[in-house]
Amino acid sequence: MKKFSPWFIVLGFLVVIGLWLMSSYNGLVTSKGNVDRQWAQVETQYQRRVDLVPNLVSTVKGAANFEQETFTEVTQARSAWAQAKTIGDRGGEIQAAAGFDSALSRLLVTVEAYPQLQATQAFRDLMTQLEGTENRIAVARKDYNDAVFGYNVRVQRFPGKLAAMIFGYAPEKSFEAAPGSDTAPVVNFEQ
């Protein structure tokens, strides 16, 4: 009976480790690519909203004595998002989007107080587009968070954590609601 050389055992062990590292690396690349792809979908929907809302504000402003403060907040939020996108700061984009959400919710509450605006066809069309955009953003955020969850589990679970450390993969940040977004905005027109 032939004895196995210890070198064959070592070589077999190294082949198994090598295949595991290759598989882990490819899985990490795929998961990270999915996170980036889903974030691109979120950005696409934000861009749609950033392009759409100024048109909505212009329509509303032209048809009513619109609150300048709300218009300014929408404009500033749009600028903050564009600046964060330009420098590639995903955290800044998330923060700017939260500011945009807040300004937009105040805009919608304000607009509800002007029933004559809702009678114009252009306004109704823009509101429909805006509602659709907000729904698309919600779906894109959910898909992004699902991708981040899957990626983070892979990066943090053993033995994938070892491969993630070796290849420099770190957990990603999920999209979280802005503080206070669970409370409906209050608009008081009697001041």
Please report the pLDDT score of residue 191 as a whole number.
Answer: 43
Reference 43, options 103, 100, 90; nearest CA is 90
- Give the 3-state secondary structure of residue 3: coil
Contact 136, 121 (CB under 8 A): no
Question: What is the pLDDT averaged over residues 162-189?
Answer: 72
pLDDT exceeds 80 at position 4: no
* Average pLDDT for 31-37: 90
CATH topology of domain 9-167: de novo design (two linked rop proteins) (1.20.1440)
67-71, 123-127, 151-155, range with the lowest pLDDT = 67-71
76-112 pLDDT per residue, tens: 777 887 788 787 778 888 888 877 777 777 777 766 6
C-alpha closest to that of 163 among 10, 15, 9, 17: 17
Question: What single DSSP character describes residue 64?
Answer: S
pLDDT tens, residue by residue, 107-150? 777 666 665 555 566 667 777 877 888 888 888 888 988 999 99
Cα distance between residue 185 and residue 69, in whole Å: 15
Tokens 């807040």 belong to residue: 102
The pLDDT of residue 43 is: 84
